[in-house]
């Protein structure tokens, strides 16, 4: 089954910019950006980020406020802060043997960096990889990681798989099945997540009086280290801005 998958990938695999490098820092940036964000939105932001901060040392030298500003629009802004903290750790101490020691790096991201950048013999299992393996009942090798991700993202879809064009269909026990819709994420419009995002966007534009902002959102953002009170305690700013 794996040879058929790899042959399909050689012809139909997506040309993504992070697949053109083995730089672990660039892979780290891509994987953090891709957490809960669509590929199409990530591509231009990934390229902009690496043009501005081409190495962990370059990012580490910047104030965290700049990383947070550059992240605006990608959502889940704690990822920017974790990426900045990881860069500072790497710049100061080098890459740890256990990549999950880096802020914001869990088992999947660690496996992705190990596979795509360091040549590690480990299969990073994201939602797409897990879906293809479960439906086919086959366990693929680390060499098939990118192919599995693309098949899951473009053919072996969550609800209605495109079995008619799938390279693995002939030997797949799930061929022709349809699946229940996954539980949708809670509504964003009017949510506290939206209030947090709006507040952070305002503070990213300029230092503002606490009284002009959503106090509950400010408190939540401050707990996450995304904003701070300027000296005197009356204005809100990004970390590293004052």
Is 51 a known active-site residue?
Answer: no
Cα(16)–Cα(4) distance, rounded to whole angstroms? 21
Alpha helix (H) ranges present in the chain?
2-12, 24-34, 39-52, 56-61, 64-71, 78-93, 107-116, 127-136, 145-154, 192-205, 215-223
Residue 236 backbone phi and psi in degrees, to 5:
-110, 135
Nearest one of 164, 159, 239, 155 to 200, comparing CA atoms: 239
Nearest one of 158, 157, 39 to 166, comparing CA atoms: 157
Among candidate residues 2, 11, 31, 51, the one labeled active-site is: 31
Query: Residue 188 CA to chain centroid, in angstroms?
Result: 19
Provide CB contacts within 8 A for 191, sequence distance 6+.
none
The residues assigned a catalytic role are: 31
């Amino acid at each position: 089954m794996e040879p058929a998958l790899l042959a399909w990938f050689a012809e139909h695999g997506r040309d993504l910019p992070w697949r053109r490098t083995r730089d672990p820092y660039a892979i780290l940036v891509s994987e953090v950006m891709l957490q809960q964000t669509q590929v199409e939105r990530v591509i231009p932001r990934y390229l902009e980020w690496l043009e501005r901060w081409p190495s962990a040392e370059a990012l580490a030298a910047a104030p965290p406020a700049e990383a947070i500003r550059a992240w605006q629009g990608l959502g889940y802004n704690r990822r920017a802060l974790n990426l900045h903290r990881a860069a500072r750790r790497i710049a100061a101490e080098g890459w740890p043997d256990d990549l999950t020691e880096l802020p914001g790096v869990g088992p999947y991201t660690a496996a992705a960096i190990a596979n795509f950048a360091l040549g590690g013999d480990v299969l990073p299992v994201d939602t797409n990889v897990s879906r293809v393996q479960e439906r086919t009942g086959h366990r693929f090798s680390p060499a098939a990681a990118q192919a599995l991700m693309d098949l899951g993202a473009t053919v072996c879809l969550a609800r209605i798989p495109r079995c008619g064009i799938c390279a693995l269909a002939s030997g797949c026990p799930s061929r022709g099945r349809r699946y229940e819709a996954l539980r949708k994420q809670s509504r964003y419009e009017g949510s506290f997540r939206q209030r947090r995002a709006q507040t952070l966007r305002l503070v990213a534009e300029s230092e503002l009086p606490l009284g002009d902002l959503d106090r509950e959102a400010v408190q939540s953002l401050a707990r996450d280290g995304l904003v701070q009170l300027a000296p005197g305690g009356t204005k809100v700013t990004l970390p590293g801005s004052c």
